[in-house]
Amino acid sequence: MPEREKPPRVVTAVRSADGLLRCPWPGDDPLYVAYHDDEWGKPTHDEATLFEALALTYFENGLSWASVFDKRDNLRKAFQGFNPTAVAAMAADDVELLMTDASIIRNRRKIDATVHNARLLSKFSLSQLVWQYQPRKHYRLRSWADGRMTSPESRKLSLALREKGFQLVGPVVAHSFMQTVGIENGHFEGCFRA
């Protein structure tokens, strides 16, 4: 689940002004609420959407989720909508140009990994690879204490991605990615999206 300041008491879902029960992390911010309701945890098999989610997850390393979320549109523009073919065609000059773009997260290792990882996607389907690791068991989140940084499945996915040559895809990144794209549940019990 996205990292936001945790509420002082243990809660699962909270009733929002619109009457719906949601995970507590979006608060009342309309952008976060829309992301929670329409994107986060929604199962997808779309290659560009999966690639974007994976890249944004490792871009978050060492930063807050809010920092990456706030730069999402700029990152989408910089990486051509995260179209794997377009990103794979980026050359060293393109990377240098991105390193001067103050509207994105300018981390060379993460930018290089995104181009590198896109090139790998010319050989296989990311969707077919990652959905093999969907847990057989639905993990229930009743409180913040039930949250996990990794899972047995995310450790296996991380290993599979690294064996394919992917960079910056450890078990924590794999777990967060799996929750983002709906491979593993990340919504609190009681949330209308759980």
- The one-digit pLDDT tens for each residue of the chain (194 residues) are 565 555 445 668 999 999 999 999 999 999 999 999 999 999 999 999 999 999 999 999 999 999 999 999 999 999 999 999 999 999 999 999 999 999 999 999 999 999 999 999 999 999 999 999 999 988 888 777 777 899 999 999 999 999 999 999 999 999 999 999 999 999 999 999 98
Does residue 118 lie in a domain region? yes
Domain count along the chain: 1
DSSP H helices, the chain, are 30-38, 47-59, 65-70, 72-78, 84-88, 92-99, 108-120, 126-130, 152-163, 171-180
Q: And the tokens for 56? A: 């944004």
CA distance 103 to 76: 11
CA distance 13 to 7: 12
Does residue 139 lie in a domain region? yes
- CA 113 to chain centroid, in Å, comes to 15
Predicted pLDDT at 133: 98
CA distance 70 to 67: 5
Domain with 97 in it: 47-180
Query: Are the beta carbons of 192 and 21 closer than 8 angstroms?
Result: yes
Predicted pLDDT at 4: 55
What single letter denotes the amino acid at residue 66? A
Does residue 58 lie in a domain region? yes
Predicted pLDDT at 175: 96
In the numeric block, the tokens 């057989």 are attached to 136
Of 93, 85, 89, 182, nearest in space to 130 by CA: 182
Q: What one-character DSSP code corresponds to residue 6?
A: P
Predicted pLDDT at 179: 96
Does residue 31 lie in a domain region? no
Q: And the tokens for 43? A: 């199962």
Does residue 187 lie in a domain region? no
- The contacts of residue 170 (CB under 8 Å, 6+ apart) are 158
Predicted pLDDT at 64: 93
Predicted pLDDT at 37: 97
CATH number at residue 70: 1.10.340.30
Does residue 60 lie in a domain region? yes
Does residue 148 lie in a domain region? yes
CA distance 181 to 185: 9
Q: How many CB atoms lie within 10 A of CB 187?
A: 21
CA distance 27 to 34: 11
Predicted pLDDT at 45: 98
Predicted pLDDT at 8: 46
